[in-house]
């Protein structure tokens, strides 16, 4: 018997289906639900996606709840993904002490979760002031992330290095992934005070490789393509980490797919919704 394909769906895919935004969305949602019911697909939920669904500033409270209820029907809570920051910490700790990654899942008992039960009852999960606080905190995190991780690139690379990158982009990209080069420096910095002689390379951890690779890709794009960074890059960073943890990510964000596919030796598949349904049906 073929094992089901376990995949992570980003927030925009879920909203497209739940709100029937693009043409044919209802038909695609029904096909996806059928694949889930047949045991061919397991959609791994993330509370990060759920928070985005019920706090989207361009939707009303009714839509927030309806989107969350749609997500609840679609996913397997037994395969709930850890928050991206927790996944990175757990994988690094496991690498240091066990020689490999930890499980990406933190199974949730949906029948005992007050949060999920509130959604099923169609109740507002948090008071408006509480949600405003959540949104402000997320905006601040994004701003700090962009400032610390991406804009710091200006200070890290010397002018000559940037010139070399413009002239020889592919060669420079490969060099960054060489032993002792940029990618290892960033990966090792994630361990903080835990760093000791390891039994595995942090870059062998799909979550770390995806996260670090996403950062490097965005640095590369700034110089080679003159890409402008959005203040919400943190969301795609988290998507990359979670996609790395589960091995499959379904997204209509071409930029995110390109970033993940640009990372060398990363065993993560990226799909559009149409590709995913066609492949696993």
Question: How many Å apart are CA 64 and CA 272, to the nearest integer?
Answer: 24
What lies within 8 Å, CB to CB, of 202 at 6+ separation is 92, 95, 184, 187, 188, 190, 191, 208
Q: What is the pLDDT of residues 39-51, one digit of tens each?
A: 999 999 998 899 8
The answer to whether 242 and 11 are in contact (CB under 8 A) is no
Query: What is the per-residue pLDDT for 258?
Result: 96
- Centroid of chain to Cα 94: 20
55-77 CB burial, b ≥16 within 10 A, e <16: beeebeeebbbbbbbbbeebbbe
Which phi and psi angles does 267 have, rounded to 5°?
-85, 65
Would you write out the chain's pLDDT as a tens digit for each of its 281 residues?
678 999 999 999 999 999 999 999 999 999 999 999 999 999 999 988 998 898 888 888 899 999 999 999 999 999 999 988 889 989 988 988 888 899 999 989 999 988 899 899 998 666 667 667 766 776 776 677 677 666 666 667 777 778 888 999 999 999 999 988 888 888 887 766 555 555 678 899 999 999 999 989 988 998 898 887 776 788 899 999 999 999 999 999 999 999 999 999 999 999 999 999 999 98
Q: What is the pLDDT of residues 140-174, one digit of tens each?
A: 766 776 776 666 666 677 777 788 889 999 999 99
Question: How many Å apart are CA 10 and CA 256, to the nearest integer?
Answer: 11
Longest CA–CA separation in the chain, Å: 60
pTM > 0.95: yes or no = no
Query: What is the per-residue pLDDT for 259?
Result: 96
Q: Crossing angle, helix 206-224 and helix 233-246, to 10 degrees?
A: 140
Q: How many domains does the chain have?
A: 1
Q: What is the pLDDT of residues 79-96, one digit of tens each?
A: 999 988 889 989 988 988
Three-state secondary structure of the chain: CCCCEEEEECHHHHHHHHCCCCCCHHHHHHHHHHHHHCCCEEECCEHHHHHHHCCCCCCCHHHHHHHHHHHHHHCCHHHCECCHHHHHHHHHHHHHHHCCCCCCECCCCCCCCHHHHHHHCCCCCCCHHHHHHHHHHHHHHHHHHHHHHHCCHHHHCCHHHHHHHHHCHHHHHHHHCCCCCHHHHHHHHCCHHHCCCCCCCHHHCHHHHHHHHHHHHHHHHHHHCCCCCCCCHHHHHHHHHHHHHHCEEECCCHHHHHHHHCCCCCCCEEECHHHHHHHHC
Structural domain harbouring 59: 5-280
């Amino acid at each position: 018997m073929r094992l089901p394909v376990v995949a992570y769906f980003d927030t925009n895919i879920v909203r497209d289906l739940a709100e029937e935004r693009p043409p044919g969305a209802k038909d695609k949602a029904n096909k996806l639900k059928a694949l889930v019911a047949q045991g061919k697909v397991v959609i791994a939920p993330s509370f990060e996606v759920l928070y985005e669904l019920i706090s989207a500033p361009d939707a009303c409270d009714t839509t927030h709840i309806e989107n969350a209820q749609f997500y609840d029907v679609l996913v397997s809570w037994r395969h709930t993904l850890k928050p991206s920051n927790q996944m990175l910490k757990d994988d690094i700790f496991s690498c240091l002490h066990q020689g490999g990654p930890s499980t990406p899942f933190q199974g949730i008992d949906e029948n005992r979760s007050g949060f999920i039960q509130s959604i099923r009852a169609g109740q507002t999960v948090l008071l408006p002031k509480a949600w405003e606080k959540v949104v402000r905190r997320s905006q601040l995190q994004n701003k700090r992330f962009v400032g610390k991780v991406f804009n710091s690139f200006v200070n890290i690379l010397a002018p000559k290095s940037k010139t070399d990158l413009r002239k020889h982009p592919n060669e420079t990209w490969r060099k960054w992934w060489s032993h002792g080069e940029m990618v290892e420096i960033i990966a090792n910095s994630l361990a903080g005070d835990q760093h000791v002689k390891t039994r595995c390379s942090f870059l062998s951890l799909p979550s770390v490789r995806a996260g670090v690779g996403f950062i490097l890709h965005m640095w590369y794009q700034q110089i080679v393509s003159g890409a402008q960074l959005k203040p919400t890059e943190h969301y795609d960073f988290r998507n990359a980490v979670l996609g790395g943890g589960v091995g499959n990510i379904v997204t209509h964000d071409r930029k995110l797919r390109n970033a993940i596919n640009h990372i060398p030796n990363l065993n993560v598949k990226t799909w559009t919704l149409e590709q995913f349904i066609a492949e696993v049906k």
